[in-house]
C-alpha cells in the first residue's frame, strides 16, 4: 500500500556565482487535505540551523533532524504539492545518498504520518543511481592460477588436479582442533550449502595438521601431495589461515576451472606483512544486529583481518549494556519522535534502534576470537557524547549556559572534564568493559571536540584557570554561543579546549591503566602530548603526513586515512555513486595502490602498527550501499596489510576478488 505523502528532492550545484539549490517537494497523494502539520526530514546532508528556507519556516534542526512548516494557515490539498528551497547546507551534496533518506509529518494535535522518500536527484542527470557491489567477473585467464586473497608470501605449484569437493581435517593438537572447528563454523556462516568442511564419508579430501613452534603466530605452511594436504602452524590463527587459503583455492578452481587450478603437489609458505590488520564498524549511526556483526566477522577472517574496532557509542546512540548504568541503553539506544534522541540518518518517527546485551557481547567477542580476531570497543569521549548526556544529564555543569555545536550539528555534546562525577561514571563503564573485552584495549575516541566546548561552564573556567591561567579562561568564555567551523572539525591545538581535553585524557588513561587496559584514540588524542605512549596507540585518519608526524613524536600509529581507507567515502566523484565525500574519494584500484607509510623515515616506521579500514554508517541506511561501498575495497586494504608491497598485483587481485563474500549479497543490477 503506497503512502499518501511523497517527498521528492533535487539538487542543483552552485554555478555562475549563484548559490546551490536544494529543492524539496511534498505531494499529498491522499484523498483529504491536510492542515496544521510540519515536515521532519533526516539525511546525511544538513540544512544550516539559522538560514532561511524559501517557502517554509525552519522550526528546528538538531544535527540531521530538520523540522519545517508551511506558512501559517496554509493547507495541502489532495493532489497538491508544497515546495521548499534551501540554499545553505552544512556541506554541498556530492552524491545522491547525501540527500534526505526518511521523512514524516507531525500533526499539531499529535500523531505522525509516514512519508515516502525518493532518492535525491541532481538536476540534469537522469542516469540510474548505483547500488550493490560492482561486478568483478572472473576472466578467462588470470595472472596467477591460484584464487587466494590476500596473496601469500611464497607459492610453488609443481602439478595441479581437479578441485576437491571439500576438506576433512584431522587435528591432534588442541590449537589445530580449535582452528578446524572455527573453520567449519566460518564456512557454514559464509557458504552454508558448499560443505567446504566435510567428513571423508562425504568425500572430504584429507588435510593433516602439524605443529611447528618456530613459526610466527599467524604464519602457516601448506604442503600438497596426491593423497593428502598438510597444514603446519604454531597456533590457532596460523592453522585457521591455512585452512582458509585452501578453501579459497578450492572455490576458484571448482567454479572457474578454465581460470584457476588446485595444487596436487607443491607448497605455500605464508606470513603477514603487518601485525595490525583492522576494520572499524560504526554501530551508533546505524544499528547492526548481532547476526550481521557475526557474519561480518566471518568476512574479516576470510580476508585475514585480525582487529575488530567496534564503534559502540556516538552522538546518535549508545549501543552496549552497562549493567550498573541501565539508563545508558534505556535512553541512549533508541531514537524517535518525542524521545530524547530524535529520528536521525534514516530512522523515522517510530521508536527504533537497539543495543548489545552483555551476553551478546561475550558471544560476539568469542566468535571473533575463534576467527583470530581481537575485538576492541570504542566509547567515544569527551566529544560525540550527546546520547550519553541524554541518559545522564547530571554529568553537565549545573551552572552552564549558552550553546556550542559539533561539526555534525549536535548541541553541547561533550562530557565536561571539570565535573567530578564524570570520572566516577567512566570508572563504572570501564570496569565492565575490562571484563567484557579480554584483550583489554579500549578506544576512547577523543576526536572532533568543538573549539567552543564548555565555553559556558563555570566549572570548566575554574579548571582552565588552574591549568593555564585566568586570561586563558576568560578568552575561552568569549567563545560562548559561537558557531565554530562547520566546514570541518575545529582546529583546537593550543586552545583552552585542547588543554582541558588533555587533562581529561590523562585522567581517563589512568582509569584504564588501573584496570589493566591499553588506551586507544583517534589522532586528536595527541593534543597536549600527555598520554603515556607506552600504554596507548593512535589511529591516524587525516593523511600519512599527520600520521608520520605523530610517529616521529613516539606515538604508535595505525594508519587509516579518510581519503583512502574510510569505506563510507564514495568510489568516485560521480553523482550517481553513493557515499560521503568530505574526505575525498577512492576507487578500489586507488585504495589497493595506497602506500600507508609513503614518505616516512625508517625511524617513523618503527612506530607503524599496521592499517585499518573504517566503516562509518551515515550512508548505510540502504544495505545495498554497504555492499557497494565496502567491497572490494575491504579486500584491497586486507591485502595491503598481509601481502608485502613487492608481491601485490592489481591485475591478479581483480581477477580473483569477485569470489570474495559480501555481507548482504547485493550486487549492482
Using CA atoms, how far apart are residues 635 and 546, in angstroms rounded to an integer? 25
CATH superfamily of 276-394+420-442+516-659: Glycosidases (3.20.20.80)
- Provide mean pLDDT across the span 106-124: 95
- DSSP single-letter state for residue 350: S
Nine cell digits for residue 541: 585518519
Residues 358-384 have pLDDT tens digits of 999 999 999 999 999 999 999 999 999
pLDDT of residue 348: 95
Q: In sequence order, what E strands does 70-153 have?
A: 75-76, 81-86, 102-107, 112-117, 121-122
The CATH number, out of the four listed (3.40.47.10, 3.40.50.920, 2.60.40.290, 3.90.1260.10), of the domain defined by the range 5-122: 2.60.40.290
Residues 381-430 have pLDDT tens digits of 999 999 999 999 999 999 999 999 999 999 999 999 999 999 999 999 99
- At residue 487 the predicted structure's pLDDT band, cuts being 50, 70 and 90, is low
Cβ-defined contacts of 593-597 (< 8 Å, 24+): 593/650, 594/561, 594/564, 594/565, 594/640, 595/544, 595/645, 596/544, 596/547, 596/559, 596/561, 596/640, 597/544, 597/548, 597/559
Q: Is the pLDDT of residue 31 over 80?
A: yes
- Provide mean pLDDT across the span 96-114: 95
Q: Is the pLDDT of residue 48 over 90?
A: no
- Provide mean pLDDT across the span 437-449: 97
Cβ count near 606 (within 10 Å) = 11
β pairing state of 57-62 and 65-69: antiparallel
Cβ count near 77 (within 10 Å) = 12
With cell 575561552, the residue in question is 476
pLDDT of residue 72: 85
Residues 606-656 have pLDDT tens digits of 999 999 999 999 999 899 999 999 999 999 999 999 999 999 999 999 999
Percent of the chain with pLDDT over 70: 99
DSSP 3-state helix, strand, coil percentages of the chain (rounded to 5)? Answer: 30, 25, 45
- At residue 116 the predicted structure's pLDDT band, cuts being 50, 70 and 90, is very high
pLDDT of residue 486: 59
pTM above 0.95, yes or no: yes
Residue 233: strand, helix, or coil: strand
- Provide mean pLDDT across the span 72-86: 94
Give the residues across from 377 on adjacent strands.
310
- Provide mean pLDDT across the span 598-611: 98
Q: Which residues, at least 6 apart from 103, have a Cβ–Cβ distance to it below 8 Å?
A: 7, 26, 39, 40, 41, 42, 115, 117, 348
Q: Is the pLDDT of residue 74 over 90?
A: no
Judge whether 647 and 154 are in contact, CB under 8 Å: no
Residues 644-662 have pLDDT tens digits of 999 999 999 999 999 999 9
C-alpha distance across the termini of the chain, in Å: 25
- Provide mean pLDDT across the span 318-347: 98
- Provide mean pLDDT across the span 89-111: 94
- At residue 73 the predicted structure's pLDDT band, cuts being 50, 70 and 90, is confident
With cell 611447528, the residue in question is 212
- At residue 120 the predicted structure's pLDDT band, cuts being 50, 70 and 90, is very high
Q: Is the pLDDT of residue 483 over 80?
A: no
pLDDT of residue 329: 98
Using CA atoms, how far apart are residues 643 and 638, in angstroms rounded to an integer? 8
CA separation (Å) from 346 to 65, 290, 338? 10, 20, 16
pLDDT of residue 490: 83
Q: Which fold has domain 154-270?
A: Chitobiase; domain 2 (3.30.379)
Using CA atoms, how far apart are residues 245 and 266, in angstroms rounded to an integer? 14
- DSSP single-letter state for residue 3: -
pLDDT of residue 1: 64
Give the residues across from 159 on adjacent strands.
265
Using CA atoms, how far apart are residues 561 and 34, in angstroms rounded to an integer? 48
* Range in 42-46, 145-149, 214-218, 573-577 the model is least confident about: 42-46
- Provide mean pLDDT across the span 248-276: 98
What residues does each domain of the chain span?
5-122, 154-270, 276-394+420-442+516-659
Amino acid at each position: 500500500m503506497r503512502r499518501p505523502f511523497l517527498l521528492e528532492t533535487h539538487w542543483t550545484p552552485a554555478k555562475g556565482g549563484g548559490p546551490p539549490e536544494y529543492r524539496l517537494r511534498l505531494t499529498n497523494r491522499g484523498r483529504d487535505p491536510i492542515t496544521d502539520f510540519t515536515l521532519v526530514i533526516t539525511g546525511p546532508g544538513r540544512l544550516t540551523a539559522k538560514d532561511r528556507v524559501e517557502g517554509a519556516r525552519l522550526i528546528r534542526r538538531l544535527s540531521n533532524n530538520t523540522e519545517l512548516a508551511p506558512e501559517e494557515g496554509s493547507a495541502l490539498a489532495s493532489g497538491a504539492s508544497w515546495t521548499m528551497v534551501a540554499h545553505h547546507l552544512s556541506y554541498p551534496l556530492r552524491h545522491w545518498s547525501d540527500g534526505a533518506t526518511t521523512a514524516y509529518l507531525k500533526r499539531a494535535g499529535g500523531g505522525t504520518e509516514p512519508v515516502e522518500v525518493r532518492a535525491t536527484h541532481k538536476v540534469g542527470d537522469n542516469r540510474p543511481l548505483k547500488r550493490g557491489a560492482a561486478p568483478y567477473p572472473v576472466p578467462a585467464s588470470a595472472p596467477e592460477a591460484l584464487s587466494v586473497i590476500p596473496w601469500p608470501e611464497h607459492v610453488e605449484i609443481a602439478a595441479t588436479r581437479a578441485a576437491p569437493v571439500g576438506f576433512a581435517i584431522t587435528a591432534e593438537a588442541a590449537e589445530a582442533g580449535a582452528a578446524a572447528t572455527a573453520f567449519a563454523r566460518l564456512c557454514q556462516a559464509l557458504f552454508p550449502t558448499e560443505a567446504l568442511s566435510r567428513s571423508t564419508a562425504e568425500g572430504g579430501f584429507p588435510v593433516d595438521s602439524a605443529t611447528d613452534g618456530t613459526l610466527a603466530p599467524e604464519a602457516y605452511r601448506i604442503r600438497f601431495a596426491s593423497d593428502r594436504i598438510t597444514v603446519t602452524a604454531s597456533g590457532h590463527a596460523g592453522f585457521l589461515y591455512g585452512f582458509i587459503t585452501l578453501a579459497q583455492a578450492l572455490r576458484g578452481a571448482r567454479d572457474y576451472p578454465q581460470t584457476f587450478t588446485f595444487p596436487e603437489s607443491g607448497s605455500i609458505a605464508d606470513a603477514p606483512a603487518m601485525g595490525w590488520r583492522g576494520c572499524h564498524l560504526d554501530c551508533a549511526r546505524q544499528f547492526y544486529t548481532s547476526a550481521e556483526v557475526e557474519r561480518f566477522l566471518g568476512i574479516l577472517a576470510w580476508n585475514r583481518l585480525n582487529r575488530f574496532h567496534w564503534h559502540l557509542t556516538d552522538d546518535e546512540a549508545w549501543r552496549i549494556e552497562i549493567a550498573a548504568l541501565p539508563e545508558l541503553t534505556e535512553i541512549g539506544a533508541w531514537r524517535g519522535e518525542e524521545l530524547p534522541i530524535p529520528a536521525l540518518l534514516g530512522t523515522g518517527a517510530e521508536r527504533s534502534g537497539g543495543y548489545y546485551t552483555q551476553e551478546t557481547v561475550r558471544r560476539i567477542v568469542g566468535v571473533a576470537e575463534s576467527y583470530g580476531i581481537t575485538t576492541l570497543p570504542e566509547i567515544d569521549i569527551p566529544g560525540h557524547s550527546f546520547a550519553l548526556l541524554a541518559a545522564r544529564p547530571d554529568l553537565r555543569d549545573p551552572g552552564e549556559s549558552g550553546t556550542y555545536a559539533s561539526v555534525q550539528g549536535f548541541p553541547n555534546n561533550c562530557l565536561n572534564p571539570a565535573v567530578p562525577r564524570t570520572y566516577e561514571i567512566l570508572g563504572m563503564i570501564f570496569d565492565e568493559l575490562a571484563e567484557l573485552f579480554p584483550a583489554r584495549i579500549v578506544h576512547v575516541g577523543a576526536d572532533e571536540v568543538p573549539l567552543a566546548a564548555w565555553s559556558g561552564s563555570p566549572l570548566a573556567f575554574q579548571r582552565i584557570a588552574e591549568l593555564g591561567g585566568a586570561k586563558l579562561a576568560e578568552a575561552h568564555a568569549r567563545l560562548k554561543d559561537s558557531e565554530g567551523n562547520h566546514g570541518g572539525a575545529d582546529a583546537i591545538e593550543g586552545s583552552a579546549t585542547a588543554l582541558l581535553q588533555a587533562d581529561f585524557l590523562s585522567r581517563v588513561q589512568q582509569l584504564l591503566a588501573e584496570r589493566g587496559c591499553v588506551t586507544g584514540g583517534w589522532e586528536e588524542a595527541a593534543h597536549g602530548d600527555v598520554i603515556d605512549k607506552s600504554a596507548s596507540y593512535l589511529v591516524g585518519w587525516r593523511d600519512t603526513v599527520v600520521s608520520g608526524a605523530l610517529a616521529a613524536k613516539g606515538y604508535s600509529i595505525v594508519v587509516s586515512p579518510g581519503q583512502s581507507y574510510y569505506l563510507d567515502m564514495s568510489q568516485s566523484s560521480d553523482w550517481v555513486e553513493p557515499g560521503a565525500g568530505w574526505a575525498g574519494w577512492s576507487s578500489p584500484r586507488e585504495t589497493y595502490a595506497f602506500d600507508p607509510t609513503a614518505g616516512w623515515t625508517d625511524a617513523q616506521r618503527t612506530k607503524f602498527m599496521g592499517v585499518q579500514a573504517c566503516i562509518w554508517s551515515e550512508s548505510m541506511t540502504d544495505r545495498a550501499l554497504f555492499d557497494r561501498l565496502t567491497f572490494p575495497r575491504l579486500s584491497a586494504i586486507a591485502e595491503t596489510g598481509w601481502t608485502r608491497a613487492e608481491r601485490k598485483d592489481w591485475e591478479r587481485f581483480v581477477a580473483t576478488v569477485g569470489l570474495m563474500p559480501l555481507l548482504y549479497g547485493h550486487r549492482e543490477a
